[in-house]
Amino acid sequence: MGGFWIVKRDICATVFSQRETVERHFLLTVRVPAHFGNALPGQFVMVRLKGGAAPFLSRPFSIYSVSSRGNDTCLEIFYQVVGEGTDIFSKLAEGDLLSIRGPLGKGFDIPPACKTVVLVAGGIGVAPLSFLAQRCREEMGDVELICYLGAGTAESLAGLERLEKICTAVKISTDDGSRGYRGLVTGLFEKDMDRYAGDTVRIYSCGPRAMLKSLQWLLKDNPAVCQVSLEERMACGFGACLGCAVRIRSNGGGFVRVCTEGPIFDIRDVEFSG
Amino acid sequence: MKVQTGVDIGGLTLKNPVMTSSGTFGYGEEYADYLDINRLGAIVVKGLSLKPKEGNPPPRIMETASGMLNAVGLQNVGVEAFIEKKLPYLRTIDPAVVVNIFGNSVEEYGRIAEILNDANGVDALEVNISCPNVKEGGVAFGSDPLLAGEVTRAVKSASRLPVIVKLTPNVTDITEIARSVEIAGADAVSLINTLTGMSIDIEKRIPHLKNITGGLSGPAIKPVALRMVWETVKAVSIPVIGVGGIMSASDALEFLIAGARAIQIGTAHFIDPSAAAHVVDGIEEYLSEHGLEDIRDLIGTLRT
Ligand SMILES: Cc1cc2nc3c(=O)[nH]c(=O)nc-3n(C[C@H](O)[C@H](O)[C@H](O)COP(=O)(O)OP(=O)(O)OC[C@H]3O[C@@H](n4cnc5c(N)ncnc54)[C@H](O)[C@@H]3O)c2cc1C
Ligand SMILES: Cc1cc2nc3c(=O)[nH]c(=O)nc-3n(C[C@H](O)[C@H](O)[C@H](O)COP(=O)(O)O)c2cc1C
Ligand code: FES
């Protein structure tokens, strides 16, 4: 029995470049096989150092973009340093080798009839949403793309430059008011929210759990469909370990796997309190 | 050189000693795209209970130095749904299928074993008397020699299949439990299950796992597992299956030399989903390089 149909083997990827964009946020570009070109916005990859002992488990990251550069396919990951693993990754340099599994999970649904796409991004939650915005712009021409982007301070606004090129409008909030609206991004979104209703509007969000929870509450009387990208600790990333459970209302209130049934979920379906 | 890698485990014949461990390999199908599953000796599926079980609330896992803690809480589809939805795939593949079971009472263990008698495609049972995560289903049976023997007897008398009893390391003397299940009729023992541990978020001053404690697995536990396997091999005459922290063929070979008849690979699959296939290759290479035609000439050859 040959193994040539084993399509999802972990791949060895070479670091193409890495740079710090805003404080403690790194943009990592790696060379990957061409089939990564089929990745959907919202999908993720599991990353670890090739042959390295630490971090032990792979770390999940959303796909920030895939593109071809000459004969190469390049995958971008945009991450914030929050702990041991991401700290080790922040020292990666050109030529270093990574082991990458993916693309994994389900992507965002984007109905072709959609005319207005609203993104609500908290901090590094911008990563999957920026990829989504890029795809919408490429494939849906003049779709209206509005992004609400929140961060702690003006200096820590991640992913802004790229979004400004793609989006119809980028609306900014900072916790300290050093740029844009002072307060939480959900507060800024709330002011415009009534404009976003109807079949041709879609809302997408990613960010801290508390932010998604308050967005769920804000949208309780708004009929617009909203999908969110969830995070949970993962060991395998492909449905085998059952480590990444999240409670979902439609599943009889039971658990599903973020890595397999998600990471994209309808915001109304998520049980944030359980 | 063509080497003979087949082993017999109390009536269960495997084409090679490499098995996957329960709870780390799903129901097999999750791995279909990740490795050539037909290279493996056996697949042990996620632990099954009489009724489906939803498991523990998240967070369920945490990385630790050279390993991980899990408190999945034995989430599973239940034995009926397993037979209906998961077994058909397992029938189509080559490796032996070992079904891991657990119950809330001695009677329940027997009942699950009975149900599985009628399921075509199951080659052996592995009885989890050791999971430390769930109060009712684990520790009580596995840490008491009398209860462990009682569960073994219940499963043996209900089942037509070879019965492997999986032991917990969270006891004072694992050989005492091993002897007790041997006397009760176990065809083999597998060890170790996870070691109970915990980990704390010092900023929030909360446990990293919602369940507070969880089971430690991965390379961190290998030396402990190896020591327990070696002790158990000396204490019983039924076959011993070595489990715990095996990441590579050389890890697996250590267990075989210590006397394990077969080995199981668990956490390593999360690091590399094709880990078990690499271990099969590595064992074959080792045997050829060392001029050993039959794996049975290696097992239990530790010089002390
Ligand atoms: C589907 C998905 C997509 C993600 N996309 C991105 C992204 O694009 N950019 C980004 O910066 N981060 C992203 N994250 C979060 C990222 O995985 C964590 O920040 C990272 O794992 C932290 O690792 P660490 O070792 O630095 O932190 P530590 O706290 O030291 O990690 C300890 C353990 O907890 C896990 N962990 C810690 N925080 C998280 C978290 N928020 N989510 C899941 N596991 C966590 C780690 O993987 C590790 O196993 C994503 C998470 C998921 C599940
Ligand atoms: C996520 C996870 C789930 C597990 N679930 C089970 C289970 O359902 N039944 C069981 O007998 N052992 C279970 N185990 C224990 C493993 O089968 C194995 O005994 C243990 O992890 C040690 O081996 P390893 O270090 O190679 O992983 C589980 C382990 C992990 C990591
Ligand atoms: S990460 Fe293993 S099941 Fe989701």
List pLDDT tens digits, range A74-106.
Answer: 999 999 999 999 999 999 999 999 999 999 999
B22 pLDDT exceeds 70?
A: yes
CATH 3.40.50.80 maps onto chain A at 116-228
Which neighbouring-strand residues pair with B70?
A: B61, B215
CA distance A35 to A46: 16
Nearest to B245 by CA among B273, B274, B216: B216
Yes or no: say if A209 and A274 are a contact pair by the CB < 8 Å rule.
no
What CATH code is assigned to A232-274?
2.10.240
Helix B222-235 with B174-183: angle, nearest 10 deg = 40
B138 pLDDT exceeds 90?
A: no
Nearest to B23 by CA among B76, B63, B67: B76
Kindly give the number of the ligand 2 atom that is closest to the alpha carbon of B243: 23
Report the SS3 class of residue B151: helix
- Ligand in closest contact with the CA of A242: 3
The pLDDT tens digits of the residues spanning B170-226 come to 999 999 999 999 999 999 999 999 999 999 999 999 999 999 999 999 999 999 999
CB atoms closer than 10 angstroms to residue B289? 9
Yes or no: say if B288 and B298 are a contact pair by the CB < 8 Å rule.
no
A239 pLDDT exceeds 60?
A: yes
Domains and CATH numbers, chain B: 7-56+78-199+218-297 (3.20.20.70)
Nearest to A120 by CA among A170, A81, A50, A61: A170
Amino acid at A26: F
CB atoms closer than 10 angstroms to residue A165? 11
pTM value is 0.96
A1 pLDDT exceeds 70?
A: no
A116-228 is a CATH 3.40.50.2000 domain: no
Give the active site residue among B18, B43, B124, B131.
Answer: B131
Name all residues whose Cβ lies below 6 A of ligand 1. A 44, 55, 57, 59-62, 78-80, 82-86, 124, 127, 231-234, 263; B 63
CA distance A190 to A261: 29
User: CATH number of the domain at A11-104, out of 3.40.50.410, 1.10.3210.10, 2.30.30.100, 2.40.30.10?
Assistant: 2.40.30.10
Chain B closest CA to A213's CA: distance in Å?
A: 16
pLDDT average, residue stretch B128-147 = 69
CATH 2.10.240 maps onto chain A at 232-274
Q: Give nearest CA residue, ligand 2 atom 10.
A: B22
CA distance A197 to B168: 56
Average pLDDT of every residue of chain A: 94
Which neighbouring-strand residues pair with B91?
A: none
Amino acid at A168: T
Q: Which residues neighbour A254 within 8 Å (Cβ) at sequence distance 6 or greater?
A: A247, A248, B54
CA distance A267 to A248: 10
